[in-house]
Structure 1
Amino acid sequence: MIPRNVLNYVFLLFAACLNSAESSFSLSMSETSRPRGSGAFPANKQKVSIFGAAGYLGANCFGFVQRAGSIYGTGLGGISFPRCIGATGFAAQCLNKVLLRNFKLAFAGEDSIYLTDMADVNYIKRRLKGTDAAVLGTAYQLEKRPVTSNTYEGRNPNAKTYEFYLDDRRAGRNDVDFESSLNIHLDFFRNTMQACSDAGIKHVVVIETPNTADVLRRECTKILLEGDVPFTYLRTSDEMIQLNDFTFESGIRGNLNMVSSLVKPGDDSDDLWDSFDVQGDSTGLGKTAREDMAAVAIQSLISLDWSKSRILDVRTNNLFIQTDINYIATKPPKFDKEWCVRSNLLASRMERLE
């Protein structure tokens, strides 16, 4: 028979080993699963502004940030945020049309719409007051529209300006050809980045739109590298498509492959892109949904380190199989705890990027 004191010693030794294993396991889990972006400090709500949110891609970014701001753990939110940076009052109509359909009757009020003169850096800076991060594009769809009354100082009532859409508005006019409007897009981008720097923006997500020519890509990257605002340059070599039946409840549609390349100030833009596989390989689906790109942009703010700059290349390997919930459950699932269904897959993949 084993003495009682020996049994007590063995029990205490076993308990100590178990506690040590549990603590080391929980530590390793927290180190690997903890976000490095806004989600690292969820109580500190980071405020986001979306340039060109009147466009379809921009509107989906706005809707995702709006939902993420209502859920604890994302670190995004704030009163009257997200903020739509547009040029005319028509931007609010376009934005709310997408929110109504894709985000179950979501709505952007007047306090979230900031009409901005994109030709004036100081004007943009004032519109970014209180913003921590911004989402913008390389090339926008431009449509000439009348200036909204009582907005731009010094403009006569009959003046017109360019409403800009990230990156496309269904049934919208292309009043400026992309190939002949390089200087306009460069001025938009240069003014935006200068205003972001002056306003103290902590991080920007730049989405390379489908109409971005190689010369514009290189010039925009040069502006980013010469600036002092850390950035995530999000791009895809796939064709960007729009899903007609998308809602946030349908979630991420593509099985996405992401590759991150860290860059630093002082890197040469031409050398960077000369060594980068812009076209990509022929494997995969070859098409990436705009809705998925919007979700990746917002997840990058939640998961990736804001102090670092990177090029994030996204490609779709294949599509997830969509299953009719009526065949697998009597009650439909609830999505009140998710800003986008399957965004956890994006988070887990971004953890392994850097």
Structure 2
Amino acid sequence: MSSTALIIPVLFVVALPGMFALSTLKPLNLSQPQGAAAKPFEKKSIAVIGAGGPLGALTFGFLQRACSLYGTGLGKVRTLGATSDTATQLNRVLGKQFVLAFADESVIKLTNLQSVEALQDRFEGWNAVVWGTDVVLKTRPVTANTFETTPNDKTVELYWDADGKAGDVQTGNADEVKRSILSNVLQASRTAKLQHMVVVDDGSIPNLLEQLADCGTPYTCIRPTGPLESRQDYTFRKGVQGDLRITKLATFSATLSPRTDTPIPREDVAALCVECLQSLDWSQSRCLQVSCVGALDLPAGASGKRSDQEWCVNTFVLRDRLVGIDRKDPDEIVQPVLF
């Protein structure tokens, strides 16, 4: 046998392990979600505060749908309200925008929002909370057999994004009560060891990012640059409507681009809250500035799924714009001017 014949088999045997190792290497896929959807079998439980208001109700509705579908990593949702009016207002939205959906007392937990202990009790065993700073406060009778001490007790109900409807809490007290409830939520989330918070900030709470950082619970703060506007005859089947621009700001910056008059679909902001939970790493904190540059121009069936297979149609657009946002070079992060 020639020397060449002897060498060739040896080279093949030596090269084979290397070839196998190379075949197992996979490129980093930046399109993969980093949040709850990264481990869909680990079902996360989410609480919403203020679902008696439009944005709160829409967020709850999308979460309710997401929890019913495998692959989202979301398993349970509940809302915390102070009175039974939360159920009334929430179910009006669910019945219409979510096509006869309904929330009963098993997922609507009436809670004294002015009590840290009450909030902490509702947070225990849950994973994340979603809320916003654009709230309306109204004085309501305490619902019987909840947390009343006398039959005539009254409490403050909170409506997240009440679409211009004024509250009846005296102007001099409204800001103070709002800040107090915010403080209670932050303290309760820390004590209950929540894993993440999603907060939609309208800029009405001074030094909000500093307060969120001091709380210690990782957060995603969403800051719309324009007013929120509802779409007529909207249902989840219509899905994402606006062409959103999402920019990550320096985490501890208290700055924003100047406010504009360009409206942002309220439904899209609610969907973005839910997509953040699925796509973004819960262990990191971030502030996202959101604007809308027009209508989203997509052909019918662009997602490749039926509407009943999606918690909100066309959310793949939001997912694609979120995934990888935490990997951007810090020098690319925009730090706009204060408005």
TM-score where L is the length of structure 1? 0.81
Q: 1:222 to 1:178 in 2, by over 3 A?
A: farther
**Take 1:36 and 1:222, find their aligned partners in 2: how far apart are those partners?**
25
- Paired with 2:171 and 2:38, the residues of 1 have a C-alpha distance of 39
Q: Which residue of 1 aligns with 2:27?
A: 28
Residue-by-residue CA offset, 1:20-50 (whole Å, 9 max, x unaligned): 88755xx226x32221111111100000000
Equivalent residue in structure 1 for 2:258, among 268, 276, 279: 279
Tell me how far apart the structure 2 counterparts of residues 51 and 166 of structure 1 sit (CA, whole Å).
8
Matches within 5 A, 1:106-121: 106-121=101-116
Verify the 8 A CA contact 2:142 2:148 in the aligned structure 1: no
Deviation, structure 1 residue 17: 11
- Aligned residue number for residue 245 of structure 1: 233
1:144 CA drift (Å): 1.3
For 2:245 and 2:22, locate their aligned partners in 1 and report how far apart those are by CA, in whole Å.
34
Match of 1:150 among 134, 145, 154: 145
User: Matches of residues 201-216 of structure 1 in structure 2 within 5 Å?
Assistant: 201-209=194-202, 212-213=203-204, 216=205
- The aligned counterpart of 1:227 is 215
Q: 2:7 aligns to what?
A: none
Deviation at 1:173, TM superposition (A): 4.7
Q: How does 1:38-77 map to 2 (within 5 A)?
A: 38-77=36-75
The alignment covers a number of residue pairs equal to 321
Q: Which residue of 1 aligns with 2:266?
A: 290
Query: Helix, strand or coil for the counterpart of 2:246?
Result: strand
**Whole-angstrom CA distance in 2 between matches of 1:178 and 1:149:** 28
Aligned with 2:258: secondary structure? coil
Partner Cα separation in structure 1 for residue 197 and residue 32 of structure 2: 21
Q: Which moved more, 1:315-324 or 1:199-208?
A: 315-324
One-letter identity of the residue aligned with 1:314: V
Does the Cα contact within 8 Å between 1:138 and 1:217 map onto a contact in 2? no
Aligned with 2:154 (options 148, 153, 160): 160
Return 5+ residue gaps in structure 1 as ranges: 1-14, 326-332
SS of residue matched to 2:74: coil
- What is the one-letter code of the residue matched to 1:287? P
SS in 1 for 2:57: helix
Match of 1:335 in 2: 307
Task: State the distance in 2 between where 1:289 and 1:116 align.
Answer: 30
User: CA distance change for structure 1 residues 350 and 188 in 2, over 3 Å: closer, same or farther?
Assistant: same
Aligned to 2:228, the other structure's residue is in SS state strand
Q: What CA distance in whole angstroms lies between the structure 2 residues aligned with 1:245 and 1:17? A: 60
Deviations 1:274-331 (A, max 9, x none): xx23316x6xx82101110001111011011111111111111110247789xxxxxx
Trace 1:303-314 onto structure 2 (pairs within 5 A).
303-314=279-290
- CA change 1:226–1:342 in 2 (3 A) is same
8 A contact 1:139–1:185 mirrored in 2: no
- Aligned residue identity for 2:293: N
Unaligned runs of 5+ in 2: 1-15, 327-339
For 2:250 and 2:300, how far apart are their aligned partners in 1? 40
Q: Distance in 1 between matches of 2:191 and 2:82?
A: 20
* In 1: Cα distance, 2:272 partner to 2:172 partner: 28
Alignment of 1:47-196 (within 5 A): 47-77=45-75, 81-154=76-149, 156-168=150-162, 173-176=166-169, 181-196=174-189
The answer as to whether partners of 2:130 and 2:198 remain within 8 angstroms in 1 is yes
Q: Is the 8 A contact 1:193 1:224 kept in 2?
A: yes
Deviation sequence 1:100-147 (CA, Å, 0-9, x none):
111111111210011110111001111112210000111311111111
8 Å Cα contact 2:220/2:286 also seen in 1 = yes
Looking at structure 2, the residues matched to 342 and 201 of structure 1 have their Cα atoms a distance apart, in angstroms, of 29
Is the Cα–Cα contact under 8 Å of residues 142 and 165 in structure 1 kept in the other structure? yes
**Runs of 4+ with >6 A deviation:** 15-22, 322-325
C-alpha distance in structure 2 between counterparts of 1:301 and 1:341, whole Å:
17
The 8 Å contact of residues 132 and 201 in structure 1, kept in 2 or not, is answered as yes
Structure 1 contact 262–309 (Cα < 8 Å) conserved:
no
